[in-house]
Amino acid sequence: MPRYAYEWLSGQDLTFLLAENENAPMNVAAVGVFEAGPMRRDDGGLHMERFLESMQAILHRIPRYRQRLVFSPLENRPVWVDDRHFELRFHARHAALPKPGSLAQLKDFAAWVLSRQLDRARPLWEAWLVEGVEGGAQFALITKVHHCMIDGAAGSDLIQIMLSPSPRPDVDAPAPYTPRPTPGPFELAVEEVMRGGARIATAARVLVGTARDPKGARERTQVRAASLAKLASYALRPASATPLNGPVGPHRQLDWLTMPLDDLLELRKVLGCSLNDVVLATVAGAVRRYLMHRRADPALLDFRVSAPVNMRKPSERGRLGNRVSSWIVPLPIAEKDPLKRLGQIRDETSRLKRSDAAAGLDSLFSLADWLPPRVLASAVGLAEGPANLIVTNVPGPNFPLYLCGAKLLGMYPLVPLLPRTGLGIALFSYDGRLCWGFAVDRDLVPDVAAFVRSVRDAFEELRTAAVSHVFRKPVVGAAPRAEAPAPHAGDAVVPLRASRSRTSDEDIAQR
């Protein structure tokens, strides 16, 4: 058995660590809302000890949760080592909302949690159990993990480890924890030198493989070169400046929305596209409405979204860390017709799939493994990003989950903001619902509720247009609203008669 044990961060994980600054904490988060159920005490509070026991029982399945960062002496490259002083209560925290405990109060508290950087001297995660939601009938679990530890797919796996498909409140006994010795500077320095030799050996193997299969190597190189060229063209020709973009400040604001998943699956089938195409078309319609509300002309803008693509192999499922690339998708926000918008998005995503567009960014992340952290930090600092916002859609379980017997009603994911990007959108499918989470810079997007209404209205507009197209006649009582600026936050919102989509405030409070 080795005297010490540790794991180097991948180049991609390291980029997310280097991208963090005081105004841009790289926190991947989620807010889960639960029925209080067996977690509620007789006095109205929560059984915090049960939650701690449930966390203690699963920590052996998430080794990274008991590891912290140390840095090598030569290149200052970070490695994961076991935390000899791990303390669960530092990471699993207990809070309560003041009465009446509305979902608006929960969103404000979650925004404060999301805005704070994690302590790099300790394992990079927190889980907040929040009682007093909806007068105590519900509670929330806010999870926050540094992006250098997880991407969206890993986050979905993590949620299913923390929660259970069984409503039984019982938890397993914890596995014993014996932290492994931390390597000293000399061991890390020797390993750095050995890693440099290993990189040279890897390059030699690549060259040998190229010589043995020149045709295949040439084809792979052409695909990746074309993808990189397209990515470079976007970087050299930045996306348009919009009210959603600018220097990001330290303060966040959150909101969320729940839609019946069957509604989107039905549209996908009728329109012959993917679920993600429906999501992007909905976002395009919402952006169009919102920018008009902010007095910007969509016809004059080149608006793009970054859509993460999971690059994990089946054998890599369940591993933490990042294994993700991204598509840059132009959104046709100048197009008035919602069906034409969807058609253009469907054509673009089909082209991206055929051309293996994710290979370009994947190649850059592979290159990051070869670069010293100082060089990589300079590259990250120069990158402004070729997109106006991020939209990530992560599939989750289509069955209910429980925390110590308490049923999960909705799980709303939240992404860190990209440089000069004031809005991030994340989606998570769960138990017949599609849960949308919106994280915004409070100064760039002061009216996040108006954008959420624009999303709901854009989806209803798309669905109404699809039904009219299929039956070749207008749908009585379900005509789309006349295109106009979205209402200001605080304005009355008239419910759509044809709508089956509800904000999570309405959806959860009625349960």
Three-class DSSP category at 142: strand
Q: What is the pLDDT of residue 264?
A: 95
Q: How far apart are CA 134 and CA 106, in angstroms?
A: 9
Q: How far apart are CA 426 and CA 24, in angstroms?
A: 17
Q: What is the pLDDT of residue 199?
A: 61
Q: How far apart are CA 201 and CA 209, in angstroms?
A: 12
Q: What is the pLDDT of residue 496?
A: 29
- Residues 133 and 139 sit within 8 Å (Cβ to Cβ): yes
What's the average pLDDT block by block, 10 residues per block, for the chain (511 residues)?
Answer: 71 89 94 96 93 96 95 91 96 96 97 96 97 96 95 88 93 90 88 69 53 54 55 67 94 97 94 96 98 95 90 68 80 96 95 70 62 68 73 95 97 93 96 98 95 97 90 49 37 34 45 46
SS3 content of the chain, % helix, strand, coil (to 5): 40, 20, 35
Q: What is the pLDDT of residue 12?
A: 85
Q: What is the pLDDT of residue 487?
A: 33
Compute CA distances 100 → 93, 97, 454, 457, 460, whole Å: 21, 8, 28, 29, 32
Pairing of strands 7-8, 389-394: unpaired
Q: Which fold has domain 235-393+437-509?
A: Chloramphenicol Acetyltransferase (3.30.559)
Q: How far apart are CA 345 and CA 429, in angstroms?
A: 21
Secondary structure in 3-state letters for 265-285: HHHHHHHCCCHHHHHHHHHHH
User: Angle CA(56)–CA(58)–CA(60) in degrees, nearest 5?
Assistant: 95
Q: Residue ranges of the domains in the chain?
A: 235-393+437-509
Using alpha carbons, select from 98, 473, 483, 121 the residue that is nearest to residue 291: 483
Q: What is the pLDDT of residue 315?
A: 65
Pairing of strands 402-403, 406-414: antiparallel
Q: What is the pLDDT of residue 329?
A: 93
Using alpha carbons, select from 367, 370, 371, 332 the residue that is nearest to residue 349: 332
Three-class DSSP category at 308: strand
